[in-house]
Amino acid sequence: MLSVILPAYNEQDNVAVAASEISRLLSSHGIDYELIFVNDGSTDRTWLRLTQLAASDKKIKAISLSRNFGKESAIFAGLENARGDALVVMDSDLQHPPEVIIEMYRLWQQNDVDIVETKKRTRGNEGRAYKLFAKLFYKIIDRVSGLEISDTSDFKLIGRRAADALLRMPERLTFFRAMSSWVGFKTECVYFDVAERKSGKSKFSFRSLFKYAFTSITSFTSAPMQLVTMAGVITFIIAIIFGINTLYNTFTGNSAEGFPTVILLQLITSAIIMFSLGIIGYYLSKIYEEIKQRPRYIISEKRNFDNEDKE
Ligand code: UDP
Ligand code: MG
**What does the pLDDT profile of the chain (311 residues) look like in tens digits?**
999 999 999 999 999 999 999 999 999 999 999 999 999 999 999 999 999 999 999 899 999 999 999 899 999 999 999 999 999 999 998 889 999 999 999 999 888 899 998 888 776 666 777 778 778 877 877 777 677 766 778 899 999 999 999 998 888 778 888 888 888 888 888 888 888 877 778 777 777 777 877 777 777 777 777 777 777 788 878 878 877 887 787 788 776 666 767 777 777 787 788 788 888 888 888 887 788 788 889 988 988 887 665 44
Tell me the CA–centroid distance for residue 226 and ligand 2, in Å: 34
Distance CA 140, CA 217 (A): 8
**Of 10, 47, 71, 192, best ligand 1 pocket probe by most atoms within 8 Å of the beta carbon:** 71
Strands ordered across the beta sheet of 299-303: 187-193, 115-122, 152-159, 86-89, 2-8, 33-39, 60-65, 299-303
Q: Which of 266, 293, 100 is nearest to 189 (CA)?
A: 100
Q: Is 71 in the pocket of ligand 1 (CB under 6 A)?
A: yes
The neighbour count for residue 197, using CB atoms within 10 Å, is 16
Q: What is the pLDDT of residue 257?
A: 63
Q: What is the pLDDT of residue 307?
A: 66
> Which atom number of ligand 1 is nearest to the Cα of residue 194?
23
Question: What one-character-per-residue DSSP string does 14-83 give?
Answer: THHHHHHHHHHHHHHTT--EEEEEEE-S-SSSHHHHHHHHHHH-TTEEEEEESS---HHHHHHHHHHH--
Q: What is the pLDDT of residue 258?
A: 64
Q: Which of 157, 199, 193, 133 is nearest to 26 (CA)?
A: 157
Which ligand has an atom closest to residue 6 CA?
1
Which ligand has an atom closest to residue 126 CA?
1
Q: What is the pLDDT of residue 47?
A: 93
Q: Is 86 in the pocket of ligand 1 (CB under 6 A)?
A: no
- Identify the residue whose C-alpha is closest to ligand 1 atom 2: 71
Q: What is the pLDDT of residue 308?
A: 60
Q: Is 72 in the pocket of ligand 1 (CB under 6 A)?
A: no
